[in-house]
Amino acid sequence: MFKNIVLAFVGLTGLVAAAPTSIQQRALTDAYRTYTGDGTAAAGWPDSAAWGEFEGLWSANLPLIRQSCGWNGWGADNSADEISHIKKAITQVSSETGVKSRFILLIMMQESKGCVRVPTTNNGVVNPGLLQSHNGSGTCAGVNPCPQSQIVQMIRDGVAGTSSGHGLKQLIAQTTAHYGSIQPAAYYAAARLYNSGSVDYSNLGNGFTSVACYASDIANRATGWTLAQSSCH
């Protein structure tokens, strides 16, 4: 959130062969297409029918969630209990806020790759936890094991918002008002806002001072992208 950082995977080759089988079974595709423009289906962005369901997207990303901490040098990999707590926290906070669980998952993978011990970043705004929230209280940076309460708090901070800034719930409401309805474009624009704090509705690739490819990344994650090479720069 609100940062110009690309979190890179290292040592992914061991899973490249295994991941596509799981993805194909759920009609998801581990491929990347660069999307430009306003986020609408008319501009070529994925519509709601192309999005995977939560369970399929969770299964596709699970191999990454299991090893993302070690790949990035952030400490011990997530334990089985921690992974279970992440999934339960996403569904719990989704129920509390009305934000779709699959969208929460997509943002989590973009922000932290699902590592509970992801470091806190600070590029003018303090961003801790699984969703790199706006100065939230939830974090397990350097903590092992990560308590269930902190995992829930990390997800809640990013989705419900904090006293310092909006979460996904408020941003979706803002973009839905712009488009006039809840549609995939509203989610892509909300992702843009979550990352940069600003949005050019005619060009979601305008990252201002943040990650230009953020909204395009979210659109690709929604259809199954996990390990394939990104074409967006």
| DSSP one-letter code for 126 | E
pTM of the model: 0.89
- Cα–Cα distances (Å) from 130 to 83, 150, 154, 186, 205, in that order, read 12, 10, 6, 22, 23
What single string gives the DSSP state of each residue in 88-115?
HHHHHHHHHH---HHHHHHHHHHHHTT-
- Strands 126-127 and 121-122 come out as antiparallel
CATH number of 40-222: 1.10.530
Residues in the chain: 233
Distance in angstroms (rounded) separating the CA atoms of residues 42 and 19: 31
Per-residue pLDDT of the chain (233 residues; tens, 9 = 90+): 654 333 333 333 233 333 333 333 448 999 999 999 999 999 999 999 999 999 999 999 999 999 999 999 999 999 999 999 999 999 999 999 999 999 999 999 999 999 999 999 998 899 999 999 999 999 999 999 999 999 999 999 999 999 999 999 999 999 999 999 989 999 999 999 999 999 999 999 999 999 999 999 999 999 999 999 999 98
46 cis-preceded (ω within 30 degrees of 0): no
Structural domain boundaries in the chain: 40-222
**Please, are residues 16 and 211 in contact by the beta-carbon 8 Å criterion?**
no
